[in-house]
Structure 1
Amino acid sequence: MSTTCVSCLMMTYTDVPNGFIECLPCSVCDQSDGLRVKQECTLTSDTVCGPLSGYYCIDLLYNCKRAMKHSSCSPGQYINQTGTEFRDTVCDDCPAGSYSDGTFCKLHTNCASLDKTTIKEGTDTTDAECSDRPPSYLLTLILCVCGACLLLFIGIIVIIVKKKIKQNSGSYRVPTQDLAALQRQQENSFNNTSGQQQSHVIVIQT
Structure 2
Amino acid sequence: MLFTHLFIFFQTSLFVCGVLASDPPPTKWQHDDPISGKTLYCDWCKPGEYMNRPCTEHTPTECLPCPWDHYTEYHNQEIECLLCQQCNLQDHEHEHEALPCTAEQNRQCECDDGYYLRLEFCFPHTKCQKGEGVREKGTPWKNTRCMRCRPGTFSDEESSTAECRAHTNCTARGECVVRQGNRKRDNMCGTCAVNGTGMLTCCYSP
Q: What is the TM-score of this pair, normalised by structure 2?
A: 0.53
> Mapping of 1:125-204 within 5 angstroms?
125-134=184-193, 136=194, 139=195, 141-143=196-198
Structure 2 distance, partners of 1:115, 1:142, is: 24
CA 124–5 in structure 1, closer or farther in 2 if over 3 Å, else same: same
Higher helix share: 1
1:72 aligns with 2:130: no
Q: Which of the numbers 95, 107, 116 marks the counterpart of 2:175?
A: 116
Residue type at the aligned position of 2:187: A
- Displacement of 1:27 after TM fit? 0.5
Structure 2 distance, partners of 1:123, 1:24, is: 58
Instruction: Name 1:83's counterpart in structure 2.
Output: 138
SS in 1 for 2:135: strand
Structure 1 distance, partners of 2:72, 2:172, is: 71
Q: Which of the numbers 155, 164, 167 marks the counterpart of 1:105?
A: 164
- Displacement of 1:29 after TM fit? 1.3
How many residue pairs get aligned? The number is 134
Q: Which of the numbers 118, 122, 125 marks the counterpart of 1:58?
A: 118
Equivalent pair of 1:56/1:85 in contact (CA under 8 Å): yes
Residue type at the aligned position of 2:118: I
Identity fraction in percent: 25
Instruction: Name 2:70's counterpart in structure 1.
Output: 12
Structure 2 distance, partners of 1:114, 1:44, is: 63
5+ residue gaps, structure 1, are: 60-64, 145-206
SS in 1 for 2:64: coil
Residue type at the aligned position of 2:177: T
- Displacement of 1:93 after TM fit? 0.8
Structure 1 distance, partners of 2:172, 2:73, is: 69
Equivalent pair of 1:115/1:133 in contact (CA under 8 Å): no
Instruction: Name 1:200's counterpart in structure 2.
Output: none
User: Which structure has the larger Rg over C-alpha atoms?
Assistant: 1
5+ residue gaps, structure 2, are: 1-34, 36-52, 55-61, 200-206
Residue type at the aligned position of 1:48: Q
Q: What is the TM-score of this pair, normalised by structure 1?
A: 0.53
